[in-house]
Amino acid sequence: MSSHTQAPASAPHFIRNIIEADLASGKHTDIVTRFPPEPNGYLHIGHAKSICLNFGLAIDYQGHCNLRFDDTNPEKESDEYARAIQEDVQWLGFHWQSEVRWASDYFEQLYGYAIELINQGKAYVDDLSAEEMREYRGTLTNPGKPSPYRERSVTENLDLFQRMRAGEFADGAKVLRAKIDMASGNINLRDPTIYRIRRVHHIRTGDAWCIYPMYDYTHCISDALENITHSLCTLEFEDHRPLYDWMLDQLTVPSHPRQIEFSRLELRYTITSKRKLLQLVTEQHVSGWDDPRMPTIVGMRRRGYTPQGIREFTRRIGVSKSENVVDMAVLEGCIREDLESRAPRVMAVVKPLKVIISNFVVGESQSREAGFHPEHPEFGSRMVPFSKEIWIETDDFTENPPPRWQRLIPGGEVRLRYSYVMRCDEVIKDDAGNVIELHCSIDQDTLGKNPVGRKVKGVIHWLSSEHALPAEIRLYDRLFNVPEPDNDKTRDFCEFINPASLTVVQGWVESTVRDAAPETHYQFERLGYFCTDRYEHQPGGKLTFNRTVTLKDSWTKEPV
């Protein structure tokens, strides 16, 4: 590219500073990044941060970003996960350079580089068991000791490694190790394993290989083969950087990328461990990886989070090396702000209470037109029908009002949104004393105007029972009832699951949403932002809505 400018997409941070210095000095003329997920699970909000960082930087500096799957651990990998990851990246609004790349694309080259290390006397075949290797490796305070097989000749190591590939040895019988420094203060440099024997069917190469390279060995070489300029990863890989650099320094690779670490995202009231997310799924604490309570990208999508809101969240939390623990309210705030401008307004009732309008007059009591958004007239409008029987929210009526109550009480008045002022004249109860119906009257002179001689402060939403459509409405709350559910190592994190994280109710919605497609967003006035379910919503049939986020921040409150 001929020119590079700092894009205003996000605030400056230390990685941007490095990139700009490299471009200014001429070290690089183009920026190439990569997003390297392992296809062993669904991506979560932490991965979204990495996706937005890697793809975003490539866009901002007119470079490109590769999507490369780390498929070196075939026991846990699947096509399902790989397809889902590609869909997640695209849904977030990003596109990778050329075709999807895989570490397995380089298996033959990786094998050749291992031969090169052996020929240099910098790798050897080891027969120690896994337990013995741990014993020989030493500790953080004590150096390791050399394996008795460390000084095998180049000829013997070449022969044994080729026979490992040919399948002559049992799984785990031998490994190939880099010969670095068993006394190093960095345990990652104490002759790390770079190949192991595993007879497992691979999702792309089938049974062609029975030896597989380790991540630390594979990743740096794959970066180099793709001419990655800046290899961005989270801080847990900081101690692996010396191995990354050592490996590339020994080999005749086309480039030497720079590894840069940043802090990973920790989101309160949830978890981002793939293993623990899998536990939630397998133990059926949630309905699946795409359960709207999950922090997975597919789960957040199904709940109604928008890619624009998620991208804004990753921009807002920034990039640094310091601890990045973020409250859920920040994420919800970004989603709420995005939906504020894009979601049409309609009315829905989630806890219906029947109201009979005693003075309703056919042909005289009128309906009224209402816009879908007060700031976007281009969204259009719809007619809000009025009838003798309506639904209101049960929570909008009480016989014992608290201070400053501005909703309905016996003998009191409220404004029906887009309609008349209504007074409660009679309360009907069942034998147990529960309120089951209200008889009310309307002021016929208040359609679209205030009553004369009195002020009515309260406004409530409602629906005509004659015209409203039944809908399944799912009210989601935080999945856990403590900010850091996996912080107590003496207890299973599942003990902290919020039993009220999902409430399913049968409510009513305006008929205007009858034909809404799956993943359509609405603001249900006074209730929150909702989204038609991605899978179970049927336009013209069963209507299913997921609450995406409330209208106000409710995360400071204890779960009900």
Q: Whose CA is closest to 35, among 273, 228, 224? A: 228
Q: Are strands 544-549 and 469-476 parallel, antiparallel or unpaired?
A: parallel
Q: Is 188 helix (H, G, I), strand (E, B) or coil?
A: helix
DSSP string covering 512-559, please? Answer: GGTTPPTT-EEEETTTEEEEE-TTT--TTS--EEEEEE-SS--TTSPP
**Which one of the listed residues 34, 38, 293, 301 is annotated catalytic?**
38
- Residue whose token pair is 């990328």: 257
d(CA 509, CA 263): 44
**Which one of the listed residues 145, 165, 198, 264 is annotated catalytic?**
264
User: Is residue 38 flagged as an active site residue?
Assistant: yes
Half-sphere exposure in the Cβ direction for 23 (13 Å, CA)? 22
Please report which helix (H) or strand (E) contains residue 299, including its range: helix 297-303
d(CA 104, CA 213): 10
User: Is residue 274 flagged as an active site residue?
Assistant: yes
**Which one of the listed residues 34, 49, 274, 336 is annotated catalytic?**
274
Alpha helix positions (H), 201-267:
215-225, 241-250
Residue 307 neighbours by CB distance under 10 Å: 19
d(CA 461, CA 414): 10
Q: Is 170 helix (H, G, I), strand (E, B) or coil?
A: coil
d(CA 80, CA 86): 10
Indicate which residues carry an active-site annotation. Answer: 38, 264, 274
